[in-house]
């Protein structure tokens, strides 16, 4: 049989792209341009979504109450003949207050579908926040008129920053009205926003509700506990209000009043996922409006004049697209650390090959404890 040589692109090296690498990419590209590229990538690729080419599964994982309420979930997507992406994400809403850690922590792994090898592991905490903002921006762009906006934000944590930044890349923001049940978080929002955005007007919940009628767009991005919603009173909402409902991403966790949801055009990001854990979990499938794919593909429905809700639960395809953008820039800049996490013996049938080095590996003269009745 002819000897098969291993091609260079079939090496099993894994590139680790860490926080410093993402920082270096964004420092090179620019924060606004990186966000614009994500918005462009999500808008284009989701608008051209082809289920024959991109296969995705809804999020699954472990949800627990011990040691405290939290979850670790995995979000898989495959581009056929190219790559499988699995983002692993933890959500622990007590992290900021108890440990000074973000509520959402994530990493993404990319696998090559020719060999099955792990090609990349990358940071995805900032990347998740960026792509969640970008997803809201692409839907806001088709659901609102072209003029400047009054933007309201409920929940001023990590996601609020990228929601505001991303929306500012597709519309100018005239006024920014924000609220949080933890006033200390609302008061530091101004320090966490990129320069050049309007100063947030921090109000309490009841003042926010009174100002809803002035708002063109609202982003709800709270860590509201299960069963505690709604986080905003929308009885004063004007015709044409668009809401990016970002925080509902768990069974029982919702942010918007049900009667409002029933009367609005609800745009789910991933229909089956939204029916389980998004705002849509309280709706029937027949009550949903066009999906995110439909509206970005240009399916004609009157969105700008309607009250619209983007039911954003977070799509694994968005994670694949953002990790791929990060990787492309990182490789262009020569960033990343290469590690050997996978065994690559010269003889693919010899799993012990690497043990035959210079150092003798100790053996035992005894059988396994199990066979000796010691197990």
Ligand X SMILES: NC(=O)c1ccc[n+]([C@@H]2O[C@H](COP(=O)([O-])OP(=O)(O)OC[C@H]3O[C@@H](n4cnc5c(N)ncnc54)[C@H](O)[C@@H]3O)[C@@H](O)[C@H]2O)c1
Stretch that binds ligand X, among 157-165, 286-294, 335-343, 349-357 (CB under 6 A): 157-165
Interface size with ligand X, residues (CB under 6 A): 30
The answer to whether residue 46 forms part of the interface with ligand X (CB under 6 A) is no
The answer to whether residue 180 forms part of the interface with ligand X (CB under 6 A) is yes
Residues 216-255: x/- map of binding to ligand X (CB under 6 A)? -----xxxx------x--------------xx-x------
**Helix (H), strand (E), coil (C) string for the chain:** CCCCCCCHHHCCCEEEECHHHHHHHHHHHCHHHHHHHHHHHHHHHHHCCCCCCEEECCCEEEEECCCCCEEEEEEEEEECCCEEEEEEEEECCCHHHHHCCCCEEEEEEEEECCCCCEEEEEECHHHHHHHHHHHHHHHHHHHCCCCCEEEEEECCCHHHHHHHHHHHHHCCEEEEEEECCCHHHHHHHHHHCCCCCCCCEECCHHHHHHHHHHCCEEEECCCCCCCCCCCCCCCCCCCCCEEEECCCCECCECCCCHHHHHHCEEEECCHHHHHHHCHHHHCCHHHCCCCHHHHHHCCCCCCCCCCEEEECCCCHHHHHHHHHHHHHHHHHCCCCEEECCCCCCCCCCCCCHHHCCCCCCCCCCCCCCCCCCCC
C-beta nearest to ligand X: residue: 157
Exactly one of 313, 324, 327, 335 binds ligand X (CB under 6 A); that residue is: 313
Exactly one of 88, 119, 168, 312 binds ligand X (CB under 6 A); that residue is: 312
The answer to whether residue 103 forms part of the interface with ligand X (CB under 6 A) is yes
Please state the closest distance from residue 172 (CB atom) to ligand X, in A: 24
**CB of 119 or CB of 162, closer to ligand X:** 162
Exactly one of 108, 119, 128, 209 binds ligand X (CB under 6 A); that residue is: 128
**CB of 120 or CB of 316, closer to ligand X:** 316
Query: Rounded CA gap, 279 and 247, in Å?
Result: 9
Asked if 84 and 113 touch (Cβ cutoff 8 Å), the reply is: yes
Please state the closest distance from residue 194 (CB atom) to ligand X, in A: 16
**CB of 172 or CB of 188, closer to ligand X:** 188
The answer to whether residue 208 forms part of the interface with ligand X (CB under 6 A) is no
The answer to whether residue 156 forms part of the interface with ligand X (CB under 6 A) is yes
**CB of 157 or CB of 336, closer to ligand X:** 157
Exactly one of 155, 289, 290, 336 binds ligand X (CB under 6 A); that residue is: 155
Stretch that binds ligand X, among 29-37, 174-182, 187-195, 280-288 (CB under 6 A): 174-182
Please state the closest distance from residue 182 (CB atom) to ligand X, in A: 4
The answer to whether residue 162 forms part of the interface with ligand X (CB under 6 A) is no
For binding to ligand X (CB under 6 A), which residues are involved?
91, 93, 96, 103-104, 128, 132, 154-160, 179-182, 185, 221-224, 231, 246-247, 249, 312-314
């Amino acid at each position: 049989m002819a000897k098969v040589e291993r091609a260079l692109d079939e090496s099993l090296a894994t590139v680790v792209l860490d926080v410093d690498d993402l920082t270096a990419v964004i420092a090179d590209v620019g924060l606004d341009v990186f966000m614009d590229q994500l918005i462009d990538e999500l808008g284009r690729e989701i608008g051209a979504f082809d289920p024959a080419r991109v296969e995705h599964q809804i999020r699954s994982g472990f949800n627990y109450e011990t040691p405290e309420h939290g979850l670790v979930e995995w979000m898989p997507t495959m581009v056929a003949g190219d790559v499988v992406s699995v983002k692993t994400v933890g959500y622990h809403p007590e992290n900021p207050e108890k440990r000074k850690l973000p509520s959402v922590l994530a990493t993404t792994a990319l696998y090559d579908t020719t060999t099955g090898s792990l090609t990349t592991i990358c940071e995805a905490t900032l990347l998740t926040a960026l792509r969640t903002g970008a997803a809201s921006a692409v839907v806001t762009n088709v659901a609102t008129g072209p003029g400047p906006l009054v933007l309201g934000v409920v929940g001023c944590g990590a996601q609020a920053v990228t929601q505001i930044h991303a929306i500012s890349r597709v519309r100018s923001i005239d006024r920014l009205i924000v609220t949080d049940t933890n006033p200390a978080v609302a008061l530091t929002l101004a320090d966490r926003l990129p320069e050049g955005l309007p100063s947030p007007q921090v109000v309490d919940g009841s003042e926010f509700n009174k100002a809803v009628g002035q708002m063109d767009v609202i982003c709800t991005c709270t860590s509201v506990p299960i069963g505690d919603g709604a986080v905003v009173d929308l009885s004063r909402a004007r015709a044409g209000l668009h809401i990016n409902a970002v925080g509902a991403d768990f069974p029982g966790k919702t942010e918007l009043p049900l009667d409002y949801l029933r009367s609005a055009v609800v745009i789910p990001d991933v229909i089956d996922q939204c029916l389980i854990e998004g705002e849509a979990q309280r709706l029937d499938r027949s009550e949903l409006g066009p999906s995110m794919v439909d509206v970005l593909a240009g399916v004609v429905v009157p969105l700008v004049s309607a009250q619209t809700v983007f039911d954003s639960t977070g799509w694994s395809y968005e994670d694949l697209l953002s990790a791929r953008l990060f990787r492309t820039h990182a490789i262009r800049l020569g960033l990343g650390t290469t590690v050997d996490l996978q065994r690559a013996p010269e003889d693919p049938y010899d799993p012990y090959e690497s043990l035959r080095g210079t150092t003798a590996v100790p053996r035992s003269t005894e059988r396994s404890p199990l066979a000796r009745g010691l197990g």
